[in-house]
Amino acid sequence: KQEVTQIPAALSVPEGENLVLNCSFTDSAIYNLQWFRQDPGKGLTSLLLIQSSQREQTSGRLNASLDKSSGRSTLYIAASQPGDSATYLCAARTGANSKLTFGKGITLSVRP
Amino acid sequence: DTEVTQTPKHLVMGMTNKKSLKCEQHMGHRAMYWYKQKAKKPPELMFVYSYEKLSINESVPSRFSPECPNSSLLNLHLHALQPEDSALYLCASSRGGRRDRNIQYFGAGTRLSVL
């Protein structure tokens, strides 16, 4: 059974800092890994999807990497802004039914 | 357009009421999903429809009844809910197909309160 872990649960940084959010998974036989952003009380916004054959994906100030062998993915946010404050969830897609297994998320606060 | 639209945004219902949640997408996706999310928890999968057929039911109580009338619409019928069913209900869609590896797009959710 796939398990996805995100540590720490919360993170507070000053504006302008570059930061890395970590995600680990137990079953390396994933199809892909997806990073989402969720604002309080809102739905999930897809940020990046990395297929199992890829090592990284980039979108603007975001860069996500995937290391299947070690069961890790990271989301790198460059030059953080207060508007980046949100909960960031990673989800691994595995199994014959291609289910998404979510981590519990990291709540990020970027201080002005 | 990568939009998944959910209505209503908020719903308050009594334990004897019958209500429905609606979800719509026009991306041509053939897989649609219902998730339940409690506060400060990750989303939990409830149902998956693939090509308008129910493919996954995660042992959800029968008071939740999904329906997929066509490839663009997904409903969740609610009846005799309990207060612990209060949560954010999220709909998602993806391209679909065997071993779907595509992005799941989520709606903004329906905030349900059961009194």
Residue found under tokens 């029968």: B62
Residue with tokens 């709606």: B107
pLDDT value of residue B99 = 66
Task: Specify the pLDDT at position B54.
Answer: 95
Q: What is the pLDDT of residue A39?
A: 94
Instruction: Band the pLDDT of A96: cuts 50, 70, 90.
Output: low
Q: Report the C-alpha gap between A90 and A2 in whole angstroms.
A: 13
Q: Which residue of B has its CA nearest to A44?
A: B106
Which chain A residue has the Cα nearest residue B96? A98
What per-residue confidence (pLDDT) applies to A13? 96
Residue numbers of A between 18 and 57 with CB closer than 8 Å to B: 31-32, 34, 36, 41-46, 49, 51
pLDDT at position A24? 97
How high does pLDDT run on average in chain A?
Answer: 94
A98, B103: Cβ pair inside 8 Å?
A: no
CB contacts < 8 A, A to B, total 51
Q: Which of B33, B104, B105 to mutate to test the interface with A (most CBs of A within 10 A)?
A: B104
Judged by a CB distance cut-off of 8 A, whether residue B54 touches chain A is no
**pLDDT for position A3:** 93
Which residues contact residue A63 at a Cβ distance below 8 angstroms, ignoring those fewer than 6 apart? A56, A57, A75, A76, A78
**Sequence-ordered strand ranges (E) for chain B:** 4-7, 10-13, 18-25, 31-37, 44-50, 53-57, 64-70, 73-79, 87-94, 105-106, 110-114
Instruction: State the amino acid at position A97 in one-letter form.
Output: N
d(CA A87, CA A107): 4
User: Does residue A49 carry a pLDDT above 90?
Assistant: yes
What is the predicted pLDDT for the residue at A41?
86
Please tell me the predicted confidence (pLDDT) of residue B97.
Answer: 77
B27 at A interface, C-beta within 8 A: no
Q: What is the mean pLDDT of residues A39-63?
A: 93
Q: What is the pLDDT along chain B (115 residues), one digit of tens a residue?
A: 669 999 999 999 998 889 999 999 999 999 999 999 999 899 999 999 999 999 999 999 999 999 999 999 999 999 999 999 999 999 999 988 776 778 899 999 999 999 9
Distance of alpha carbon B61 from alpha carbon B112, whole angstroms: 16
Residue B98 CB contacts under 8 Å (≥ 6 apart), including other chains: none
